[in-house]
Structure formats: C-alpha cells, structure tokens
A and B are shown apart, each in its own frame.
Chain A
C-alpha cells in the first residue's frame, strides 16, 4: 500500500507571497491532519479534515487554511507568508483520526520543507 505523499518536498518563497501544499493520504483513509514542525515549537497541530469537513483546528492565524477533496486528498494554504512560517509541514492520514475519538494510528508523510526569505 502506498504511503502518504506530500508535494512539493521543498519550497522557497518570499515574505508576502502565498503557498499551497498538497497531501495525498493512504488509500481508504478519510482523515487528514496537518502539522507545523519547527525546532523551537516542535510539532504543532494545524487542522484536521474528515470527509471534506474541517473537524478540528489548532491555534494558528487565519492565514493558514485548508481543504479536503472528495478523494480525501488535502491541500493547505498559507497566505501573506512571514519569516516565522519557515518550517516543515507534515500531513498525516488515518482511517478516522484522533478527532474521531478513536485510537487511530496516524501515518505521516515526509513533509514539505518551506523556507520563507
């Protein structure tokens, strides 16, 4: 079974620009969660989508948004990029997700390394 894929793997943008990252979950998984990982803050939860609906959201500004398509693929968008948005962005898929009140294992993709100059 193919794992979680994320594109692109690396991205360099300048302040003020916007960026869209893509995540394809494992086949059959309906939950996709996004995380931001930085050396200082560690892994921080951005949001989770399940069956095209945002089910849970972390404590990030509205510049961070996402969506999920009917095939469970998900995108996240960051508008008006700031230097502090430089990070590794990880997506994870699972059958029902932690927000489903289950103990579903989350399968992470390799991440997209975003650098904002």
Chain B
C-alpha cells in the first residue's frame, strides 16, 4: 500500500542545534516533494519544494534533500530558534495530475 511517513510525531531540541526531520514514502513516484510549516490554529504555510531531479535545496536556515532511491526526504533547520517550534509537514504529488498527499507531520519543540 502507499504510505508517506514522517519519522516521529515529536522532536525536542535545544536552541542553536540543527533539527533534522525525515519523510519516507513507499509505492509513490513523486515528481516533487514539498515541506510546510503549521502553527497551532493555523493552516499550513509552504516552505520549500524539491523536484525529483534535485538532490538538495536551501533557503536561509532551511535545507531539504531528496533521495528517490531511498524514497526519503530530509528537512534540516540549522541554528534552530524557539520561534521554529511548530509542526512540519511533508507532501508529495501522488502522480502527475493529482493532488498533494501529506504526511501526518512532526512537531518540533526548540527550547532555549
């Protein structure tokens, strides 16, 4: 069956450290993968998109990698801050011409 899994429901790290979140999928062949941030009581906000032919994408303190052989994407936040505390969702396109499929998310807590 098709699955998209994010490594853990919760991740707690100290301020200044690098947070690494994992998104694994099975039985999909996505053309791209996206990462979103969701704060309590709000809708998800788009952060980064990485295509199947890209290995890495960066935006400020964020870095995403995409390994289609391992069927995995890693999302890194360097020099994490308490303001980075939120739930992070990965999403992929099921196949061309269909909607986004979301993982259940990982809730990151950064303590000062």
Whether A and B are associated in the same complex: the answer reads yes
| B99 touching A56, Cβ below 8 Å | yes
Among A4, A103, A105, which residue has its beta carbon within 8 angstroms of that of B43? A4
Q: Which residue from chain B places its CB closest to the CB of A105 in the assembled complex? A: B46
Which chain B positions have C-beta within 8 A of A95? none
Is A61 close to B, CB under 8 A? no
Q: What are 22 A-B contacts with C-beta separation under 8 Å? A: A33-B100, A42-B89, A42-B105, A43-B105, A45-B101, A48-B99, A56-B98, A90-B44, A97-B99, A98-B93, A98-B99, A98-B100, A99-B99, A100-B97, A103-B32, A105-B46, A105-B49, A110-B41, A110-B42, A111-B41, A111-B42, A111-B43
Inter-chain CA distance A108–B43, complex, in Å, is 5
Q: A43-B102, A45-B101, A90-B43 are in contact. List 13 more A-B contacts (CB 8 A).
A: A33-B100, A41-B104, A42-B89, A42-B102, A45-B100, A97-B99, A98-B93, A98-B100, A100-B97, A101-B96, A105-B34, A105-B46, A111-B43
B: which residues have CB within 8 A of A? 31-32, 34, 36, 41-46, 49, 51, 89, 91, 93, 96-105
In the complex, number of A-B residue pairs with CB atoms less than 8 Å apart: 62
A49 to B34, CA, bound (A): 21
Residues of A in contact (CB 8 Å), total: 26
Task: Please determine whether B46 and A106 come into contact, CB atoms closer than 8 angstroms.
Answer: yes
Query: A residues bordering B, Cβ < 8 Å?
Result: 4, 33, 35, 41-45, 48, 56, 58, 90, 92, 97-101, 103, 105-111
> Given the complex, which residues of B lie within 8 Å of A98, measured CB to CB?
93, 98-100
Q: Which of chain A's residues have a CB closer than 8 A to the CB of B34?
A: 105
Q: How far is the CA of A41 from the CA of B102 in the complex (A)?
A: 10
CB < 8 Å neighbour of A43 from B41, B44, B46: B44
- CB neighbours (8 Å) of A43 from chain B are 44, 89, 91, 102, 104-105
Contact of B98 among A44, A99, A105 (CB under 8 A): A99
Which 10 pairs from chain A and chain B are nearest by CB? Answer: A108-B43, A42-B104, A43-B102, A45-B99, A105-B46, A101-B96, A98-B100, A108-B44, A101-B97, A98-B99
Q: Which residues does chain B contribute within 8 Å of A90, judged by CB atoms?
A: 43-44
* Bound form: Cα–Cα A25–B53 in Å: 31
